[in-house]
Amino acid sequence: MKGKILNIQRCSIHNGPGIRTTVFFKGCPMTCLWCHNPESQSFKNEVMYDQEKCIRCQSCISSCSNKCIDLKDDKIETDLDRCISCENCIDYCPSGSRELAGRDISAKNLVHELIKDREFFKNSNGGVTLSGGEALSQGNFTIEVARLLKKRGISVALDTCGFVNSEQLEEISPYIDIFLYDIKIIDPEKHRKFTGVDNKLIFKNLHLLHRLGSRIFIRIPIIDGINTSEREIQGILDLIDKIDVEKISLLPYHEIGKHKYDKLNLNFKNEIMKVPSKIVIENIKKIFEKKYIVEIGG
């Protein structure tokens, strides 16, 4: 069984307890405007192009097997609809301005790579975190990876947006020690506007995990002007009021991933979003910590 991943990040301390190795899976059913990993949204392997590094040698043009790269107005342009990710342009690029986002790997080979960090996990009570994109968008593959890790005694966390197949969420639950569950926006219309999908399934699946007795950490991206209103915060409190939530992580919006949009030739709509001030974050933190353990980041 094979799946697509973006990369493996070792020695992570922000995706669950202890020292963790995080696997970023390719593909996501949501298109959040604030996404700082836009290369994780598509289910296809993609070529990312850094115009600043490019020396315009045109090696990529001559090496492209599908002839979908051209030089226009001193800029290398790729017809993404025709690109088949043959990787020739990457192999022949002397400046390193082109890189592939996404690679195919079998479940067994991925697990073999992950268990190399077993000693780090033992000494820190850490483990592996399956993240994305959305790992359960490749449901059967992700379930198999989680099963194999659990079989080897590795603690597994799943970072999920919740907009996933409920049956697969239930199927994977015995192999997951912690669910890092994203709650983004309560208002359904705003949720559709800014993420591309409705939030009913997300709320339904959160209640499903509660009924299954799962260990749940809630993660909330904080985007000023979008989900920082009193109505939104109170809505989240009402949602999780009858759910066993162990911890809440507030994730302040940032623009660190902006350069990735340029590499993918995508429009970064940062004029809509604002980085929250420390005061805004602290005020929200005070509201949640009346009842929950709250951390900023993580």
173 in the same domain as 72? no
Is pLDDT at 298 greater than 80 in this prediction?
no
pLDDT, tens digit (0-9, with 9 covering 90-100), for 231-271: 999 999 999 998 999 999 999 998 888 889 889 888 887 67
Identify the pLDDT of residue 272.
79
Q: What tokens were used for 215?
A: 């260990």
Range of the domain at 78: 46-101
Identify the pLDDT of residue 259.
87
- Cβ-contact 183, 239 below 8 angstroms: yes
80 in the same domain as 157? no
User: Distance (Å, rounded) from C-alpha 29 to C-alpha 207?
Assistant: 20
118 in the same domain as 263? yes
66 in the same domain as 33? no
pLDDT, tens digit (0-9, with 9 covering 90-100), for 43-87: 988 889 998 999 999 999 999 999 999 998 888 888 878 888 788
pLDDT, tens digit (0-9, with 9 covering 90-100), for 9-37: 999 888 899 999 999 999 999 999 999 99
User: Distance (Å, rounded) from C-alpha 183 to C-alpha 202?
Assistant: 8
Q: CATH number of the domain that 244 lies in?
A: 3.20.20.70
Identify the pLDDT of residue 70.
93
pTM over 0.95: no
12 CB-side CA count, 13 A:
21
85 in the same domain as 10? no
Collect all residues with Cβ–Cβ distance below 8 Å to 124 and sequence separation of at least 6. Answer: 18, 19
